[in-house]
Amino acid sequence: MNQLDMSNQSFKVNYTTFLRVILGVILFSELVVLYTNHFFSLSGFQNSISNLIDANAWQIFKCLNTVILDMSWFAVYICPVFLLMTSIALLIGIYPRLTSTVSLLIFLIYFLSHTGYQGLWAFTYLMPLLLNVILFINYMSHKQKKQIILPDFYFIHPIPFLIIIVSLGLSVFVAIFLSKNSLSPFIAALISAIVPSIILLIKYLIFFNKTSWDFNDLHLEQKAKDFSLILVGLMLCFQVHENDLLNWFTPDGFSKLITSFQNQSSLPQAILINLDFFKENSVLFSSAQSVIENFIALCLVALLFRPIISIAATLLCLALTIIEFGAAAGYQVSNPNDYTWAYELFLTTFILFVLSFYEIKRSLNVKCIINKLCGGPVLESKSWLPRIILTLITTVIFTIVIYLTHNVPNSLPELTIRSGLTIFLYLIIFNLFDLAKVILLNRQKGI
């Protein structure tokens, strides 16, 4: 175990605990929102699936949704049951391997059923799916195969625990209330915030300091953090090219984007009117946004300046999250009543916020300046062959997914090629720095 891993030993709340809890909150609030929107009535379910079929760009996904539509008599009853049971299991942390598997299948169905839906952002359901993959791999890699319930927050003081729960509950309430996703926003937001908080509080009170800490592999936890940062970086790689093709990095396009937010956002008008400052200085801010997003994307993928970049990425995503609540779901939206999903950027912002905390703590607990800024190696291999193979596989998968999501239809081939090449280049840069870390670490060990 290297110095990087040992730095987190004193803080006995795993990163994957926060990841699992937020995924549980998402599934529970999705259940509440769908219920308030009458999705679980037969007619509501059929109308929603029919809309996905009509607005999909690919025949294969039309066929998939047609199969779901044909099973609507069964799915309309089984879906809420699975959402409820899985969300509660994630919040409690019971049977982590089984629960993470089921939630992975749920997010996979969400992603596939919405893939090709015109106007939907590529990472809307891809981000929770890939984060769930990280969680799934983490749990499956643990040696404690018979762990029934995870320790979670048992070993922290009640005051920081209450701060975490209250902050999470308030954030969820604001996200659901401002998103316009529900026909009954206040009720949906209140239930989505209170019920998960109560579940976590009851579990904390029952098990506080009454269980052993036997599900904590620091090496696996660090890998989960590393890959989560890289994932956010890959998302930004794609987003930079999408913004460029939509002309959002030009003064005129930037001004139009700000105007659209002012017209659609759920924020008070007193706040939105202050965005005129950015429109008046669109030449400066459009260029600055392009440079900042490119730099943050590269640093996240290559894992450079980790504490600083994780904070910068958190602030960037937080600003976008707040302003996009209530905005249209995407570009050339098929349904005018479609709004940006409450967790579209909220999930990424939450994950980045948690990662920023761990990165700051890690950097304060190591002495080596390289470890402080860049961390330890992610891949242990000194050979280029497995790294190149992994890079090619990752690039191909992301390139295919970007193409299938059908963002910016008029420039889809260009968006796909540019995003794929950039992702490949950034992953090569990651491997160069990661290999340098491996060599440096081996020299320190005298290998």
Contact 232/348 with Cβ under 8 angstroms?
yes
Model pLDDT for residues 65-103, shown as the tens digit of each residue = 999 999 999 999 999 999 999 999 999 999 999 999 999
Quick check: 212 pLDDT over 60? no
Q: Where are the alpha helices (DSSP H) in 180-217?
A: 185-207
Instruction: State percent of the chain over pLDDT 70.
Output: 91
Mean pLDDT of 237-249: 90
pLDDT band at 7 (very low <50, low <70, confident <90, very high): very low
pLDDT in the model for residue 163: 93
pLDDT in the model for residue 137: 95
Angle between helices 96-114 and 15-36 (to 10 degrees): 50
Radius of gyration of the chain (CA): 22
Distant-in-sequence, close-in-space partners of 156: CB < 8 Å, separation ≥ 6? 12, 13
Calculate the average pLDDT of the chain.
Answer: 89
pLDDT in the model for residue 327: 81
More confident residue, 408 or 133: 133
pLDDT in the model for residue 442: 78
Q: Which of 28-32, 38-42, 206-210, 333-337 has the lowest mean pLDDT?
A: 333-337
Model pLDDT for residues 309-361, shown as the tens digit of each residue = 999 999 999 999 999 888 876 655 445 557 789 999 999 999 999 999 999 99
Half-sphere exposure of 421 (CA within 13 A, CB side): 7
pLDDT in the model for residue 149: 80
Cα angle 266, 88, 347 (rounded to 5 degrees) comes to: 35
DSSP 117: B
More confident residue, 7 or 251: 251
Distant-in-sequence, close-in-space partners of 194: CB < 8 Å, separation ≥ 6? 169
Alpha-carbon dihedral angle through residues 249, 255, 258, 264, given to the nearest 10 degrees = -120
* 247 backbone dihedrals φ, ψ, rounded to 5°: 65, 25
pTM flag (> 0.85): yes
pLDDT band at 9 (very low <50, low <70, confident <90, very high): very low
Quick check: 153 pLDDT over 80? no
Mean pLDDT of 29-58: 94
* 251 backbone dihedrals φ, ψ, rounded to 5°: -55, -45
Q: Which of 189-203, 216-230, 309-323 has the lowest mean pLDDT?
A: 216-230
Distant-in-sequence, close-in-space partners of 62: CB < 8 Å, separation ≥ 6? 53, 56
194-208 burial, b if ≥16 CB within 10 A, otherwise e?
A: ebbbebbbebbeebe
